[in-house]
Structure 1
Amino acid sequence: MLNWRPAWKIGKRWLWFVHRWLGVAACLFFVLWFLSGLVMMYVQFPHFVESERVAHSQPLDWSKVRIGPQAAVEKAKAKAFPADLTLSMWSGEPVYRVVEGRKRIGVSAVDGRVIGEIDATKAKAVVASAWPGTSPHLLRTLERDQWTVAQGFNASRPLHLFALDDPAGTQVYVGSKGGEIVLDTNPTERFWNWLGAVPHWLYFTALRSMPQAWNEVVLWTSGIGMVSAVSGLWIGVLRVRLKRRYAGGRMSPYRGWMTWHHLAGLIGGVFVLTWVFSGWMSMNPNDWGGPGEAVMMGRKAWMTPPKTPYPLDTTALRTRTGDRLARFYWLGERPLLLVNTGPDAQRVLDPINGAPVTFTDAELFEKAAGLVPGAHLVMRDRLTRDDAYWYSHHDRAPLPVLRAGFDDPARNWFYIDPKSGRMVGVADNSLRLYRWTFSALHSLDFRFLIAHRPLWDVVVWLLSILGLIVSVSGVVIGWRRIGADLASLKKKRA
């Protein structure tokens, strides 16, 4: 009969050794991540979303539009009519923004020139136009800083940074390539993000400017955290006694900080493990959370324009006032124009005669029926409130929205805006699994909790405090252990 005791004895010794020394590093990161995570509940990383872009855009002067969207695409040398083509005012003239991959190319709607590199003087005029009544002054021109370190800004670098004289202390970044406003920040969000997203994501400029290195650091640190959590849970279960208790009727053999670490780890260890695992999953290792080919092919089919040129007649549009952003797109063979008159006010128009356009749900579902070849459309839902996969807790998910679902093995779903007919989201088995292994586990954005705030806040705070007890006690224990080992080594040398 095989004797497992020697192997088990060696295994336990290694288990203790791994947890003891990996835990010293892991608990430091846990303290950092739990505290910064609490800040991130209420303060987002600086970003410049479309609603802000609309709010800071001057009303479109349609009478100045001489170049049509098709000509703008050709001037930008885009390979095809883009999925994202907009028109807005830029320092007094209407300018198209042609988005192709990571590139955003500006083309004047007045004379068709491509907006190339601009100097600080021109950039100042752009900011003054977007924030009327302010006196922007140039702080510096830079390649990147803490708030613009992401690769999404690469096409616009270098960046002109301006400070406004407004009460909020706003700072605005303008890309020297293309002259587009790419970001605005204020002192409050900058301060809190140094305590929130920056340490939580390990988003320090020197590291984040090297994407591959940053990716590896996040994966390895969270991986170490997972090993530490698993080994700690294992040891905690081995050392707890519910029946044959330790002296004094105690469940734990430890004293002081060790007791706190042991019992808090037993209670909150699973949460710590799932939380650090979901943080690891946020990096989408090996593209495990990526969409399948079928759902992406369906999305592409919906967005692919016909071979015919996009038509635009501004005659009827010249009487319109208050349009701040216009988006040009195709729905099948039909050209459409989506205009924003405010951050949350949109209207769909016919680009030829300017007439309002509306769709019926049946019309859009009929068009969606062929998105997945060989599969049947079995789900035709109009969502008027969040569900488990379409929710606005972190990302803006417009409602109402149509959900078209198929009976193929990947259970492909497509989300369609019933007002514009644009596809605004997709889901399949892989993306839905990623929603649970990342978003749900990491942010606890379960539908019941986020629908009953502040219940969500209370639960997250309580679990984070429990995680802090585990990690802070681990830091104290580790610090004392290192101190004792150093003292012992010093004594031996003496």
Structure 2
Amino acid sequence: MWFLSGIVMMYVPFPSLTKADRLAGLAPIDWNQVHGIVRADAALQQGPNGPVWLGSSVSSASTGLAVGPVDARRAGDIATAFGNAPASDIERVQRDQWTVAGSFDRYRPLWKVTLHRPDGLTLYVASTTGTVVLDTNRTERFWNWVGSVPHWIYPTVLRQHQPLWRQVVLCTSGAGIVGAVSGMWIGVLRMRLRRRYKGGRVSPYRGWQWWHHLMGLFGGTMLVLWIASGWLSVDPNRWFASKGLGDAGLAAYAAAGMAPVIDWARLSATQQATGARQMRMIWTDGTPLLLLSRPGLQEAILDARNLKPAKLDPRRLTRAAERLLPGARIEAVDRLTRTDSYWYAAKGDVELPVLRVRFADSAKSWVHISPRTGAVLGDLDARRRLYRWLFDGLHRWDFGPLLNRRPLWDIWMLGWLTAGVVLSISGVVIGVRRMRKRRRR
């Protein structure tokens, strides 16, 4: 189950709404309807009844009034506009197989809208914000039933109880580790390199047993590494838990002030605002920046005070970064222009160039900062960097010559996964045969 589903997962990931798909589905912002001050804690985008601010709460960008919960009719209109097809079915769901993760909790209940399209596209609309939070198509759902769902032991009935699901993963993979290690030890004991078996054979077995012995010796180490790293995926005993950056440090880094007054008519006349599907404002070292997103284009960055393109000084960002971890000295600052073992993406792209700020604190923290916006893109301490090797490295083999190199990575993975399939099937056949013999006795 784990090996075959792993092969599927190499090519069909679990359903998610990518940033590119989300932007492509949104309508351009109607700047003529935007009034009032900018909300620093929210994103501006076009809704079915005009532009809205989406954050901890939802409000109209025209009137400033709160927008109530989304009903079925409105959810259908949102999905129809997003997917360019009429809705064929609308259902209110608390959670289902594709929305069982806790990341959807703040959007529940959800409106599940199936569109009248050949690909069977289904969109999930948040009842709280009216935003599309997930899209799935028929092909994606089919392959995930034989991919991610069995691989992660992810049926809704189990996964919705997170502590129970975590214990099931720990116990099943733990049992797998014991079985694999003991099987390898028995396989080593049965080998004869000097006083060989009849016919000069190293192994005493034939048929399925020979295949099991061969694959166990050949791929047993990989089997153990895969099961052990899978066991680590749920972080047993919270060995790799990280405190991360505190809210106080992030607030000091941002140094937010009074929200600037935006001349919306002037903003709408800028080239960067034409066709924009989403706008956010962030603070970087006391500077308010407007981030405008358009499909297929790099995010435009404007200084919110004068609506001119913003360009940040890396030295200023470094000085501001000192406030992220009060009392910790900055050890080094690296400017990455290409991905490495700690700044990469298994799927899609990551922002480049990026600043890596290394601190001399007890956790040996690293912080990645965008030189374009000053946004903190992520942080890694020594524990998480170790976890990167023990889980991502040994489970996905995304390092060294295999990192982002295809089809080399595919050949490597498929070879070992095929060996694992043969090992597993031969073990099942041998086990069934042994049980039948005992029954006859």
Which is worse superposed, 182-191 or 346-355? Answer: 346-355
Q: Structure 1 residue 157: deviation in Å?
A: 2.4
Distance 1:279 1:299 in 2: 34
The Cα offsets for residues 127-147 of structure 1, whole Å up to 9 and x where unpaired, read as: 223234x22232422222211
In the superposition, relative to structure 1, how do residues 343 and 215 fare at CA in structure 2: closer, same or farther (>3 Å)? farther
Distance 1:375 1:154 in 2: 35
| Aligned positions of 1:58-457 closer than 5 A | 58-70=27-39, 82=41, 85-99=42-56, 105-132=57-84, 134-291=85-242, 293=243, 295-297=244-246, 300-301=249-250, 305-306=254-255, 308-315=257-264, 316-319=266-269, 320-394=273-347, 396-457=349-410
Equivalent in the alignment of 1:33: 2
User: Do the aligned residues in 2 keep the contact of 1:299 with 1:426 (CA within 8 Å)?
Assistant: no
Ranked by relative contact order (alpha carbons within 8 Å, sequence separation 6 or more), the top structure is 1
Distance 1:303 1:233 in 2: 54
Distance 1:480 1:303 in 2: 67
Backbone CA RMSD of aligned residues? 2.1
Q: Structure 1 residue 305: deviation in Å?
A: 4.6
Distance 1:150 1:461 in 2: 29
The Cα offsets for residues 114-166 of structure 1, whole Å up to 9 and x where unpaired, read as: 3332211111111223234x222324222222111222222222222222233
User: Do the aligned residues in 1 keep the contact of 2:13 with 2:148 (CA within 8 Å)?
Assistant: yes
The Cα offsets for residues 456-478 of structure 1, whole Å up to 9 and x where unpaired, read as: 10000001111112111111111
- DSSP-derived class of the 1:286 partner: helix
Structure 2: 5+ residue runs without aligned partners?
Answer: none
Distance 2:252 2:58 in 1: 22
Which is worse superposed, 416-425 or 43-52? Answer: 43-52
Structure 1: 5+ residue runs without aligned partners?
Answer: 1-31, 71-80, 100-104, 489-494
In the superposition, relative to structure 1, how do residues 298 and 455 fare at CA in structure 2: closer, same or farther (>3 Å)? farther
Equivalent in the alignment of 1:48: 17
Distance 2:108 2:360 in 1: 46
The Cα offsets for residues 304-343 of structure 1, whole Å up to 9 and x where unpaired, read as: 6546332241332132321111112111222221111225
Q: Structure 1 residue 44: deviation in Å?
A: 1.1
The Cα offsets for residues 432-461 of structure 1, whole Å up to 9 and x where unpaired, read as: 100001001001111311343111100000
Which is worse superposed, 269-278 or 369-378? Answer: 369-378
User: Do the aligned residues in 1 keep the contact of 2:285 with 2:317 (CA within 8 Å)?
Assistant: no
Distance 1:302 1:448 in 2: 39
User: Do the aligned residues in 2 keep the contact of 1:86 with 1:325 (CA within 8 Å)?
Assistant: yes
Which is worse superposed, 176-185 or 428-437? Answer: 176-185
- Aligned amino acid, residue 429 of structure 1: A
Equivalent in the alignment of 1:8: none
- Aligned amino acid, residue 34 of structure 1: F
The structure having more radius of gyration, on CA atoms, is 1
Report the TM-score when normalising by structure 1. 0.83
Equivalent in the alignment of 1:10: none
- DSSP-derived class of the 1:296 partner: coil
Q: Structure 1 residue 353: deviation in Å?
A: 2.4
Report the TM-score when normalising by structure 2. 0.93
User: Do the aligned residues in 2 keep the contact of 1:298 with 1:372 (CA within 8 Å)?
Assistant: no
- DSSP-derived class of the 2:339 partner: coil
- DSSP-derived class of the 1:219 partner: helix
User: Do the aligned residues in 1 keep the contact of 2:54 with 2:129 (CA within 8 Å)?
Assistant: no
Is it true that 1:479 corresponds to 2:432 in the alignment? yes
Q: Structure 1 residue 233: deviation in Å?
A: 1.6
- Aligned amino acid, residue 66 of structure 1: H
Number of paired residues? Answer: 437
User: Do the aligned residues in 1 keep the contact of 2:89 with 2:113 (CA within 8 Å)?
Assistant: yes
In the superposition, relative to structure 1, how do residues 367 and 306 fare at CA in structure 2: closer, same or farther (>3 Å)? closer
Equivalent in the alignment of 2:423: 470
